[in-house]
Amino acid sequence: MADFEPVLMANMQREDSHTLAAYEKAGGYAALKRALREMQPKGVVDLVKRSGLRGRGGAGFPTGLKWTFLPQETRGPVYFCLNADESEPGTFNNRVLMEQDPHQVLEGLILSCFATCATTAYFYMRYEFPLAWRRVQAAIDECYSAGYLGSNILGSGYSLNVYLHRGAGAYICGEETGLIESLEGKRAWPRIKPPFPAVEGAFRRPTVVNNVETVACVTHIVARGAEWFRSMGVPPDPADPRDPGSFGPKLYCLSGHVERPGCYEAPMGLPVRELIDRFGGGIWKGRRAKAAIPGGISMGLLRADEFDCRLDFASPARYGCLGLGTAAVVVLDETVSMVDFLHNSCRFFAHESCGQCTPCREGTAWSLRMLDRIRAGRGRWKDLDLLLEIGDSIGIIPGSTICGLSDGAAWPIKNAIRKFRAEFEDYIRQSNPQGYLETAPVAALDSTGSH
């Protein structure tokens, strides 16, 4: 860690880092020029496969392997969708990249499109990013003027057009097929898979969907090599044959109750405690930590005594979390009520569920109603078991929904109650001393918060 040199954020300290002039002065687009001159698309794919790059958008799927799922022989266009929706609460690393260094992202996008033989790319950006929108569009315009986009890029014979598309701010559009449906002008309902987007994606054509930070890493893999990328991070766990390792640099978002919230770069596998203490300056106001969200709210919770958890793709699951997610750490100090935390979480997912799958639509809605009743002083200990039953029954992992939104909704429920059950029971007992042991069905609350 002491020898780590930031790469994804290296250009951001320079004046006008979002401009083409500043990016080229720092060596930008040299990797693209060399790739177009010396490499074939398959060579770029093989390089990314050897690097061990895994998607930074949440799932952590090996990027190079994902690219190989495209049909080898296909007539007609191949599309590339860049997922810049970034709707996971606590996550802002993609926004930082787009606002401060959009050309790094665009160079990675062009290299990724060249590798996958895509001739059209859709840059799908969340509506609430006005500064990122202006700077990315300006960067795209600069690329066309400089010959990095358009027909016959740099005389290589390869052509690519990039279109910036503004999403409407729906969480479900972070799921790749929901994004594609939205891109096509339809309601963002995730598609049943198979067929996967690599076979039938945007406009029913082969399509690759990658995250902003993922393609930014491609820029440096082509520039510095696969071995450089693998020199940092966490190697595969020999006891887990399904773990391919977690390599390369990572942008960590840190927010909540810390002295210095922000976006920080470090190798994959940074311990949560080191991120909080070294980068974030510790817990604010001299208080103690109570918990932390390790990678966006959908990943669940870590207790304060679990902060030795490394932020790689394998470690959070060993602490009962869903995974690394976006590596967006939100810190909760000792004053935070877990009941309030879970209520906010359930309210978010009930609002963002697209409603296509019954377990998700009903499970998120009823979870919120139970938390509303608990906070209104009508809770029962039995409600905690009902909430856990919902959490254990919805999502892709138990096989009841099309996409993973309900998994993300379930994990905060399961983690909060199982790791802080005594606090929930105490809250319910104190707020409903006459009825906290009731087991018979109870009436729902009306819009005023009463029976």
Domain boundary assignment for the chain: 10-231, 246-333, 338-431
Tokens encoding 115: 């590798």
Cβ 114 vs Cβ 36: under 8 Å: yes
- Compute the average pLDDT of residues 362-368: 97
C-alpha count within 13 angstroms, C-beta hemisphere, residue 402: 21
Cβ 248 vs Cβ 52: under 8 Å: yes
Residue the block writes with tokens 């990678």: 295
Tokens encoding 32: 């693209």
Give, to the nearest 10 degrees, the angle between helix 405-419 and helix 381-393: 140
Cβ 84 vs Cβ 94: under 8 Å: yes
pLDDT-derived band at 30 (thresholds 50, 70, 90) equals very high
Q: Which residue from 416, 431, 417 is spatially nearest to 332, judged by alpha carbons? A: 416
- Compute the average pLDDT of residues 280-303: 96
Q: Which CATH class is domain 246-333?
A: alpha beta
Task: Classify domain 338-431 by CATH architecture.
Answer: Up-down Bundle (1.20)
Tokens encoding 247: 């390599």
Residue 59: the pLDDT is 84
The size of the chain, in residues, is 451
Please say if the pLDDT value at position 449 is more than 90.
no
Please say if the pLDDT value at position 271 is more than 60.
yes
Cβ 126 vs Cβ 212: under 8 Å: no
Please say if the pLDDT value at position 2 is more than 70.
no
Residue 224: the pLDDT is 97
- DSSP 8-state assignment for residue 406: H
Please say if the pLDDT value at position 73 is more than 90.
no
What is 10-231's CATH number? Answer: 3.40.50.11540
Q: Which residue from 29, 114, 115, 105 is spatially nearest to 64, judged by alpha carbons? A: 115
CA distance 407 to 380: 25
CA distance 451 to 439: 17
- DSSP 8-state assignment for residue 237: P
Give Cβ neighbours of residue 207 (< 8 Å, ≥ 6 apart). Answer: 78, 79, 80, 81, 180, 197, 198, 201
Residue 441: the pLDDT is 86
Please say if the pLDDT value at position 131 is more than 60.
yes
| Per-position b or e across 151-174, b if 16+ CB within 10 A of its CB | eebeeeebebebebeebeebbbbb
pTM of the full structure: 0.94
pLDDT-derived band at 177 (thresholds 50, 70, 90) equals very high
